[in-house]
């Protein structure tokens, strides 16, 4: 995996009680919880940071970083990419409003309007 690539989310998410979950803006009570590693990567996938920056950031969160930290993060990124929850880019990506923040921080009506205007569909990214 090329650590110089930028990673960005392609899914709306929520962060409640230290739990990151995927959420449908039209059914905000229907959550798909993510395990801790997946949730961390999704919440940090803002399109402005590279995989290497993610590795460095995560390494600093430990007194002694796990030996296989890079390998673990690569695996997490691959899983999220396969599920089209995040995507990779060679360049910085500007996320649309409705993907920039957890759903609880969005103006829902504004987000829904922009989703409709953009023709957003989380199963296929228009941002690459």
**pLDDT at position 123 over 60:** no
d(CA 75, CA 1): 10
The domains found in the chain, sorted by start residue, are: 6-118 (3.90.930)
Both tokens of residue 63?
A: 């007194």
50-95 residue pLDDT tens = 999 999 999 888 878 778 999 999 999 999 999 999 999 999 999 9
Strand 27-33 to 46-50 pairing? unpaired
pTM to 2 decimal places: 0.86
36 burial class (0-12, 13-18, 19+ CB within 10 angstroms)? exposed
């Amino acid at each position: 995996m090329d650590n110089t690539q930028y990673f960005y989310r392609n899914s709306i998410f929520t962060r409640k009680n230290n739990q990151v979950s995927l959420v449908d803006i039209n059914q905000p009570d229907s959550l798909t919880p993510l395990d801790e590693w997946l949730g961390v990567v999704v919440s940090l996938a803002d399109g402005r940071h590279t995989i290497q920056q993610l590795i460095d950031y995560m390494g600093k969160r430990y007194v002694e970083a796990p030996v296989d930290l890079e390998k673990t993060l690569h695996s997490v990124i691959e899983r999220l990419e396969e599920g089209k929850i995040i995507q990779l880019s060679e360049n910085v990506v500007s996320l649309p409003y409705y993907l920039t923040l957890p759903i609880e921080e969005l103006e829902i009506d504004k987000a829904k309007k922009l989703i409709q205007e953009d023709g957003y569909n989380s199963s296929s990214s228009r941002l690459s």
